[in-house]
A = this chain, B = another copy of it.
Amino acid sequence: MNGDRFTVTYRLRCDRAQVEARAEAVALEQSVELPAAAVTDHRVRDDVMGRVLAIRQRDEREFDVDIALAEETVGRDAGQFLNMLFGNTSLQDDAVLVDVTVGATFAARFGGPRFGIAGLRELAGVRGRALSCAALKPQGLPPAALALLAGTLARSGIDIIKDDHGLADQSAAPFAQRVTACQRAIEEAQSVSGSRALYAPSITGSLEDMRRQLGVAREQGVRVALIAPMISGVSNLATLACDAGVALIAHPALAGAARILPPLLLGKLFRLFGADATIFPHAGGRFGYTLADCAGIADAARHPWHGLAATMPVPAGGMSVERVHGMREFYGDEAMFLIGGSLLLAGDALAARCRAFVDAVAAPYAHQDSRHD
């Protein structure tokens, strides 16, 4: 309760004549949720009520508005942070959540990735090159079929083999059976091929469900898990980052594309709340993200930020072996490249296709991209 603030940027669509009133309204909506006249307590007015700091015109009817909100309104909860950033304003379709700037002490409340890029590299035994990632799918296959696929991927040299985010605790492949079978297949591949592949099962449901699943998985030797924070709730992500003892790969399911800018949500916020890696659709695949979105996500995930560990960017979403070179040029090698369906289309040539992927990720290559000089 020391009056410390964080700064939120909203993009508002409205007329020039209305923008000041609209900015004030957002500042109230995201703090006291009252007309200013109804806030009679002096401490609340001074220390808690949102405050408009700046308005920048971007276009005839588009403005970026900086608003200072009080750190004390968040407590230590990730969900409450999201609530104060965009809870009610998400219901107003003239507003987009663009960015937030927080201080080091505030960032330390959440702690960020516990493994991060360095920890994932350590687990996977990979230095000096990017990581490769592939997915177990389709949903509906029995555990034995998924395990067969996992073994092939591991023997072909893929670093991280994750469940499709559609795999949950389903009758076709119940969690415990699936995870046991896939982890065993990957360990067998390790013993015959020298692979150090890691299996990342998808955890779903309530926090209690996810804890149960993680218990089973850890018992089988699993060290990494996939979680969709916008479905599971970011408070549960932050809780598991604190104490689950496995590296967490965030999946963007339900994260939308427009109302919260992807660099903020999938880069900065997921990192703050403890995601060790963040999957997002690379431009030009099946999803509508631009190259600017993608560069923004990678930067937010990796740039130095209050001493928080870096989050591994995982571009994905309709990628192919042919695109690896371009992705390396764009992201550099402090990244993990995820190819899903395109590998499986190879049918009987799956193993060869995987090795081409692994080779493309590891090929000597002099990066031209100035962002990675």
A residues at B contact (CB < 8 Å):
1, 25, 29, 31-35, 37-41, 43-44, 47-49, 70, 72-77, 79-80, 82-84, 86-88, 90-94, 135, 137-141, 145, 164-166, 168-172, 204-209, 228, 231-236, 238-239, 252-259, 281, 286-289, 317, 340-341, 344-345, 347
Contact = CB atoms under 8 A, between A and B. Distances in A.
Interface residue SS majority, chain A: loop
Nearest to A165: B87
B138 A90 contact: no
19 contacts: A32-B140, A33-B138, A34-B138, A34-B340, A35-B341, A37-B345, A41-B138, A72-B172, A75-B171, A79-B206, A79-B232, A82-B254, A87-B253, A88-B165, A90-B257, A91-B256, A92-B288, A206-B235, A231-B234
Contacts of A235: 204-206, 209, 231-233
Contact of A239 (B41, B75, B206, B255): B206
A204 B91 contact: no
A287 to B, nearest CB: 5
B1 A257 contact: no
A234 to B, nearest CB: 8
A170 B33 contact: no
A286 B252 CA distance: 30
A92 B239 contact: no
Shortest Cβ-Cβ A-B pairs, 4 listed: A233-B233, A48-B140, A87-B253, A32-B138
A164 B35 CA distance: 14
A91 B7 CA distance: 26
Contact of A238 (B165, B206, B344): B206
Given A169-B77, A205-B80, A281 B141 contact: no
Nearest to A345: B38
Given A73-B139, A256-B259, 9 more contacts: A34-B340, A34-B345, A77-B205, A87-B228, A87-B231, A88-B253, A91-B289, A92-B288, A206-B236
Contacts of A344: 34, 38
B228 A206 contact: no
A39 B138 contact: yes
A180 to B, nearest CB: 18
Contacts of A172: 1, 48, 72
Contacts of A171: 1, 72, 75
B41 A141 contact: yes
Contacts of A317: 91
A165 B90 CA distance: 14
Nearest to A85: B254
Given A140-B70, A256-B91, A228 B38 contact: no
Contacts of A206: 77, 79, 207, 233, 235-236, 238-239
Contacts of A252: 91
Given A168-B83, A172-B48, A34 B145 contact: no
Contact of A41 (B140, B287, B288): B140
Given A209-B235, A345-B35, A168 B80 contact: yes
Contacts of A254: 82-83, 86-87, 90
Given A38-B344, A172-B48, A83 B166 contact: yes
Contacts of A138: 31-34, 38-39, 41, 44, 48-49
